[in-house]
């Protein structure tokens, strides 16, 4: 299934799907596909996981940022048959403003007791990239940028440069924000090389 | 792309030259830390001495209000910034760091100065950069990713020149995390050694100007030829046994005819990393190419590592020396590679720099000397 392009950047890529997750609501290509009564992030992520219908044990070990990014990638990659696992052709290009601070604070608290390696590993924003790569066997290009505010343009330009100069043919591109106070905002695109 | 002015600040010195002089003499910055600021137990690390830093800050009273991480960053950039038109929107600035001012969380969970983009903007504003700074936070490969992104930004026409800065300082947050993983050595780290038992942490700041324009005059220079990033798709905290991501990063970096004369390895001295790296280097067909590891001099400087180690390796390339791997006595890794123990003097032109990190990330960059 390939939708009509919603947004065209420079000239190397076309957007084939767009996903937004905010205020307990998931919007895919302009349509609400899921919403939950659950105001608390942990409960919302659990509800969304159930909604996707997948069975993936590693999900329950992830921190909130990874769960949010992982579920987003599942929703965007669903039914995209041209993307096969075991590939160098899918790039992951993410940005946010709070880096991994949501988990950093939890790790900081755990230090008073016994510091937990299982929490410490998630004190890096790029771990979500690792989780998505493991799930899909994506070996490709990837980057996590931290921005004061969402600069979609620069991320699309970066995707273009990958389409132009590397093996990349598809890219998950966009904003994956989770604040220390659990405010979340996902604005992700699945792009394909023209 | 051309490598321009550069600077390193570490316990070995406050200029690239001072750092290189110590390295070539086999001197390192790792020492036992006995205070309680960073850990309740003693541990070896390469830490920038506060009183030494005070001396360098003496003439810049305005820097008193900045954090140590910001002070090091600004001092490093001050040494290379002359001649850079920071007021041009075509001059980019990239900050590479893993944890920035994370120490501030101790007192206040919501301190805005713990936000990495705030830190980058503060540093950029000190110099008056017109462009918005970019922050790369990709675990231990961040510094090498800064070179790759700088190149891609210039290639895309976004910037003409890019200033890259890598920095991290140690905090209880970082030290306790590595201790919880049991990844710290009780002694100075021993990269690629049969008895290696973990890494040593380090602090540092380093900066480089990447110029987009090719040089026309007849002077020697080092070119940033190409780079690539690849994932292991295997484990978030353990490297792939087959070196999958690093192998792919190397393959995608090198083009036909790129000759590799020396490899500057990641070489953290953890048992798994160095084995993985030997596997990737060997699979790529570089079993007989001299491999050098610099963590024995600087420790693992996290977001600064890719930049510090690239600068030292580039300086070595210019001087036709392959730097001995401090801490290595008896090589002991799974795959056949040739790790250099003592400094060797040999003509070298092509340098391959490697880094790997948590999240299964790997990066490779190929530099070439033109005489």
CA-based nearest distance B319→chain A, Å: 32
Is residue A3 over pLDDT 70? no
A132-140: average pLDDT:
98
Q: What is the pLDDT of residue B293?
A: 98
How far CA B43 is from CA of A152, B99, B186, B204, B269, in Å, comes to 43, 20, 6, 18, 16
Is residue B212 over pLDDT 50? yes
Q: What is the pLDDT of residue A179?
A: 97
Measured between beta carbons, the chain A residues lying within 8 angstroms of B40 are: none
Report the chain B residue with the minimal C-alpha distance to residue A116.
Answer: B180
Torsion of CA B53, B56, B61, B63, to 10 degrees: -50
Rounded mean pLDDT of chain B?
A: 97
CA-based nearest distance B302→chain A, Å: 12
Q: What is the pLDDT of residue B182?
A: 95
Percentage above 70 pLDDT, chain A: 94
Q: What is the pLDDT of residue B185?
A: 98
Is residue B214 over pLDDT 90? no
Choose from B99, B176, B245 for mutation: most chain A CBs within 10 A: B176
Where in chain A are the domains?
13-193
Q: What is the pLDDT of residues B122-153, one digit of tens each?
A: 999 999 999 999 999 999 999 999 999 999 99
Closest Cβ–Cβ partner in A97, A133, A145 for B231 = A133
Is residue A21 over pLDDT 90? yes
Q: What is the pLDDT of residue B83?
A: 86
Work out the pLDDT band at B232, boundaries 50, 70, 90: very high
CA-based nearest distance A31→chain B, Å: 32
Is residue A194 over pLDDT 50? yes
Q: What pairs with residue A187 in β-bridges?
A: A20, A175
A134-159: average pLDDT:
97
B301-329: average pLDDT:
98
Report the chain A residue with the minimal C-alpha distance to residue B113.
Answer: A98
Provide the chain A residues 162-191 that lie in CB contact (below 8 A) with chain B. Answer: 162, 165-167, 180-181
Contact at CB, A129 and B245, closer than 8 angstroms? no
With the C-alpha atoms ordered B313, B316, B318, B321, is the resulting torsion angle positive or negative?
Answer: negative
Contact at CB, A140 and B137, closer than 8 angstroms? no
Domains annotated for chain B, with CATH where assigned, are: 2-211 (3.40.47.10), 221-370 (3.40.47.10)
Q: What is the pLDDT of residues B152-191, one digit of tens each?
A: 999 999 999 999 999 999 999 999 999 999 999 999 999 9
Q: Enter the CATH code of domain A13-193.
A: 3.40.47.10
Rounded Cα–Cα distance for residues B264 and A121 (Å):
26
Q: What pairs with residue B106 in β-bridges?
A: none
Helices (H), A11-151: 41-52, 64-77, 101-110, 117-120, 127-136
A111-122: average pLDDT:
94
Rounded Cα–Cα distance for residues A35 and A32 (Å):
7
Contact at CB, B136 and A144, closer than 8 angstroms? yes
Please count the residues of chain A. Answer: 194
Rounded Cα–Cα distance for residues B247 and B106 (Å):
39
B319-344: average pLDDT:
98
Work out the pLDDT band at A10, boundaries 50, 70, 90: low
CA-based nearest distance B316→chain A, Å: 29
Percentage above 90 pLDDT, chain A: 92
Q: What angle do CA B311, B97, B77 make, to 5 degrees?
A: 55
First to last CA, chain B: 15
Rounded Cα–Cα distance for residues A88 and A66 (Å):
21
Measured between beta carbons, the chain B residues lying within 8 angstroms of A124 are: 98, 137-139, 358-359
CA-based nearest distance B340→chain A, Å: 30
Q: What is the pLDDT of residues B7-43, one digit of tens each?
A: 999 999 999 999 999 999 999 999 999 999 999 999 9
């Amino acid at each position: 299934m390939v939708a009509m392009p919603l947004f065209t950047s420079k000239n190397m890529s076309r957007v084939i799907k767009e996903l937004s997750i905010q205020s307990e609501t998931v919007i895919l290509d302009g349509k609400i596909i899921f919403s939950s009564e659950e105001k608390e992030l942990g409960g919302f992520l659990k509800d969304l996981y159930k909604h996707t219908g997948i069975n993936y044990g590693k999900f329950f070990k992830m921190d909130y940022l990874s769960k949010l990014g992982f579920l987003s990638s599942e929703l965007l990659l669903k039914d995209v048959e041209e993307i096969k696992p075991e590939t160098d052709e899918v790039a992951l290009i993410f940005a946010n403003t709070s880096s991994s601070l949501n988990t950093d604070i939890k790790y900081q608290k755990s230090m008073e007791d016994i510091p937990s390696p299982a929490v410490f590993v998630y004190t890096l924003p790029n771990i979500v990239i690792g989780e998505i790569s493991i799930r899909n066997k994506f070996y490709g290009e990837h980057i996590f940028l931290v921005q004061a505010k969402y600069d979609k343009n620069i991320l699309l330009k970066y995707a273009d440069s990958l389409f132009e100069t590397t093996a990349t043919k598809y890219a998950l591109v966009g904003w994956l924000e989770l604040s220390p106070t659990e405010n979340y905002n996902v604005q992700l695109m699945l792009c394909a090389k023209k | 792309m051309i490598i321009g002015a550069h600077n390193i600040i570490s316990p070995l010195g406050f200029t690239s030259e001072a750092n290189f002089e110590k390295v070539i003499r086999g001197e390192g910055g790792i020492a036992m830390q006995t205070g309680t600021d960073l850990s309740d137990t003693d541990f070896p690390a390469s830490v920038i001495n506060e009183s030494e830093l005070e001396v360098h800050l003496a003439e810049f009273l305005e820097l008193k209000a900045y954090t140590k991480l910001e002070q090091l960053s600004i001092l490093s950039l001050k040494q290379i910034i002359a001649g850079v038109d920071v007021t041009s929107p075509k001059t980019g600035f990239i900050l590479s760091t893993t944890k920035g001012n994370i120490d501030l969380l101790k007192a206040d969970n919501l301190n805005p100065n713990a936000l990495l983009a705030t830190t980058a903007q503060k540093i950029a504003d000190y110099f008056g950069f017109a462009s918005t700074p970019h922050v790369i936070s990709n675990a231990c490969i961040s510094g090498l990713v800064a070179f790759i992104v700088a190149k891609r930004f210039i290639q895309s026409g976004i910037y003409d020149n890019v200033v890259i800065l890598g920095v991290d300082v140690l905090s209880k947050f970082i030290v306790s995390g590595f201790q919880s993983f049991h990844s710290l050595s009780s002694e100075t780290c021993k990269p690629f050694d049969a008895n290696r038992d973990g890494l040593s942490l380090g602090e540092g700041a380093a900066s480089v100007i990447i110029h987009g324009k090719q040089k026309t005059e007849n002077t020697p220079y080092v070119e940033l030829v190409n780079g690539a990033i690849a994932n292991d798709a295997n484990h978030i905290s353990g490297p792939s046994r087959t070196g999958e991501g690093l192998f792919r990063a190397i393959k995608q970096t090198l083009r036909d005819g790129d000759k590799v004369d020396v490899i500057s390895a990641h070489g953290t001295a953890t048992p798994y990393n160095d084995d993985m790296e030997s596997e990737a280097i060997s699979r790529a067909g570089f079993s007989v190419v001299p491999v050098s590891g610099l963590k024995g001099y600087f420790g693992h400087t996290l977001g600064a590592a890719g930049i510090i180690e690239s600068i030292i390796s580039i300086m070595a390339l210019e001087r036709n020396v392959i730097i001995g791997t401090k801490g290595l006595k008896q090589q002991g890794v799974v795959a056949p590679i040739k790790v250099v123990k003592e400094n060797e003097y040999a003509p070298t032109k092509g340098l391959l720099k490697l880094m790997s990190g948590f999240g299964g990330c790997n990066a490779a960059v190929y530099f070439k000397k033109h005489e």
